[in-house]
Amino acid sequence: MQRRKWLVEIREGKGYTQEQVAAAANIKRAYYTQIENGVRTPSVPVAQKIAAILHFEWTFFFDDR
């Protein structure tokens, strides 16, 4: 399990809380936290929603970062 530091940095850089991103993506905050912490990998539709909210390429979730 590897924390997605890049995701935290993007979110914080845009001034969003985990709750705000989760609500905008229509997912639970706990699930979003698991995604940031590297516990879970989002489905493609969820990855696309989060990426659209935070303005980055959704395929980053599936890169070896």
50-60 pLDDT tens trace: 999 999 999 99
Total tally of structural domains belonging to the chain = 1
Contact 55/1 with Cβ under 8 angstroms? no
CATH number of residue 18's parent domain: 1.10.260.40
Task: Give the structural domain span for 44.
Answer: 5-62
24-43 pLDDT tens trace: 999 999 999 999 999 999 99
Q: For the chain, what is the mean pLDDT?
A: 95
Amino acid at 36: E
Q: Which two tokens stand for residue 51?
A: 């990426």
CA separation, residue 10 to residues 22, 53 (Å): 14, 11
| Element of type H or E holding 20 | helix 18-25
pTM: 0.91
Centroid of chain to Cα 32: 6
Query: In 10 A of CB 23, how many CB atoms?
Result: 15
